[in-house]
């Protein structure tokens, strides 16, 4: 495979960068229907798909050396990294200790489908403080929609077993949930399952936008019917946010909500997808090939091989820097003029397959969903950001909203027929929310239909209005 680096390519690597290592390449013991990585197997015909020990050592050494900050995170992914066997990771942590700079903190993050986890794996994870990312798409029927094994059989019971093991051994974990055509219309079922039955405290919701083509590369504008729609994504996030912001702030952490709060507080979103530029989160294949990003493991984005070109040179190359800056430099004017651009930044370039209403290419497939969600959360986010600025807990937002809600209910309950409707529509109460009040003779004698009031209040809350 070609590399894009030339002899004169100036290397200015960032002070810190992140590599997602795939020691077993695309090899996996499951056959999740939406997986974007299984097709990468075709890039290495005849390979054993096993990272060699010498390569592991070279990578560990260079990766640590290249970081000009006092900590480093080794991220293991796949394919399925447990297929390397536990001894590989024992060697990995030993090498990390050997090459660690004085005072440097070394972390390990490990993404798995959980199928092969047992007590021994979990004892190891606990002993070495691994952070485990476990993939669960919701309760059984929603998880098993696409997450099946090589024989097409369901896998939910296996991942729940893995979860129980992680908890038993006190291993830190977060849950990665993909949102797709099969579960996107069931946000609360998914969220409540993860919160109440899985007992998860750290959640990530990853939208599935899967290109429909033969190569598995980021080519063409068609997406598969497993992909969710932008509208589904927006509604999915809004529904979960509405439940979270009323009862779970400070005890359940949802990545995109944290990202949003950072942005509303005037900080950088902290997740490449929502940053103005990217390019500092790369991916390495089992043979040492380095790619611009985990979502661009394809020949056009291969930077070279760590056995031939120093890692720091590839990461700092003009090609890679341009890759990251293009995220901002190719943003359509429509996005620059968007009121939620400060948090969205146009989303991930891999999903920018639409044209804007004025005909400019490069609009994100999920735009309508981003807009819906980020607009919807504006007011609660402002409240939380204000609490943070005053050095108080963002969780206070729950009390503030509950107090407002109670006041709103009182207004509805006492409104007279000819009063302006408390919903703020500008119409009289009797022509708006009072329309269905049972009995019309005695103003205020009969409360507004609970259902209608509830539905309207809910709608208002969803619109972020007081």
For ligand SF4, the binding residues (CB under 6 A) are 272-273, 278, 281, 293, 295, 327, 334-335, 338, 340-341, 344, 346-350, 364, 367, 370-371
**Tokens 């090609």, located at residue:** 319
- What is the nearest approach in angstroms of ligand SF4 to the Cβ of residue 370? 4
Q: Are 105 and 127 in contact (CB under 8 A)?
A: no
Complex with ligand SF4: residue 278 or 398, whichever CB lies closer: 278
How far apart, in whole angstroms, are the C-alpha atoms of residue 271 and residue 266?
A: 14
Complex with ligand SF4: residue 327 or 433, whichever CB lies closer: 327
Complex with ligand SF4: residue 87 or 337, whichever CB lies closer: 337
Complex with ligand SF4: residue 201 or 350, whichever CB lies closer: 350
How far apart, in whole angstroms, are the C-alpha atoms of residue 319 and residue 13?
A: 12
- What is the nearest approach in angstroms of ligand SF4 to the Cβ of residue 325? 11
How far apart, in whole angstroms, are the C-alpha atoms of residue 460 and residue 4?
A: 52
- What is the nearest approach in angstroms of ligand SF4 to the Cβ of residue 218? 9
Complex with ligand SF4: residue 135 or 364, whichever CB lies closer: 364
* Residues contacting 45, CB < 8 A, separation 6+: none
Residues serving a catalytic function are 294
- What is the nearest approach in angstroms of ligand SF4 to the Cβ of residue 18? 9
Query: Pairing between strand 105-112 and 71-76?
Result: parallel
């Amino acid at each position: 495979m070609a590399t894009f680096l030339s002899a004169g390519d100036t290397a200015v690597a960032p002070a810190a960068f992140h590599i997602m290592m795939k020691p077993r390449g695309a090899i996996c013991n499951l056959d999740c229907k939406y997986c974007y990585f299984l097709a990468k197997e075709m890039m290495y015909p005849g390979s054993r798909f096993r990272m060699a020990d010498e390569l592991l050592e070279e990578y560990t050494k260079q990766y640590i050396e290249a970081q000009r900050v006092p900590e480093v995170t080794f991220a293991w992914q796949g394919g399925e990294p447990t297929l390397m066997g536990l001894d590989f990771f024992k060697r990995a942590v030993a090498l990390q200790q050997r090459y660690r700079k004085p005072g440097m903190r070394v972390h390990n993050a490990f993404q798995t489908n959980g199928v092969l986890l047992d007590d021994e794996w979990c004892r190891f994870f606990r002993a070495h403080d691994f952070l485990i990312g476990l993939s669960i798409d919701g309760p059984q029927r929603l998880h098993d929609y696409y997450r099946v094994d090589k024989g097409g059989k369901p896998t939910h019971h296996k991942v729940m077993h893995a979860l129980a093991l992680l908890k038993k051994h006190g291993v830190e974990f977060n849950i990665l949930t993909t949102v797709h055509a099969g579960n996107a219309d069931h946000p609360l079922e998914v969220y409540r399952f993860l919160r109440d039955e899985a007992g998860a405290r750290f959640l990530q919701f990853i939208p599935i936008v899967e290109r429909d083509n033969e190569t598995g590369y980021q080519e063409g504008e068609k997406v598969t019917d497993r992909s969710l729609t932008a509208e589904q994504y927006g509604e999915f996030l809004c529904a979960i946010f509405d439940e979270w912001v009323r009862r779970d702030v400070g005890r359940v952490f949802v990545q995109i909500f944290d990202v949003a709060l950072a942005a509303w507080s005037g900080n950088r979103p902290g997740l490449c997808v929502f940053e103005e530029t990217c390019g500092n989160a790369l991916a390495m294949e089992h043979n040492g090939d380095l790619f611009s990003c985990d979502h661009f493991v394809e020949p056009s984005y291969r930077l070279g091989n760590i056995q031939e070109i120093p890692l720091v040179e590839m990461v700092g190359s003009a090609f890679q820097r341009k890759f990251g800056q293009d995220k901002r430099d190719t943003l359509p004017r429509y996005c620059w003029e968007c009121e939620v651009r400060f948090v969205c930044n146009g989303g991930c370039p891999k999903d920018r397959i639409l044209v804007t209403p004025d005909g400019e290419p490069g609009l994100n497939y999920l735009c309508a969903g981003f807009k819906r969600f980020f607009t919807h959360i504006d007011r609660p986010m402002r409240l939380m950001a204000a609490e943070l600025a005053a050095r108080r807990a963002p969780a206070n937002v729950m009390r503030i909203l509950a107090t407002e809600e109670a006041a709103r209910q009182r207004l509805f309950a006492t409104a007279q027929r000819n009063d302006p409707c408390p919903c703020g529509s500008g119409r009289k109460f009797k022509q708006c929310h009072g329309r269905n009040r049972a009995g019309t003779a005695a103003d205020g004698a009969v409360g507004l239909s609970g259902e209608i009031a509830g539905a309207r209040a809910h709608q208002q809350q969803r619109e972020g209005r007081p």
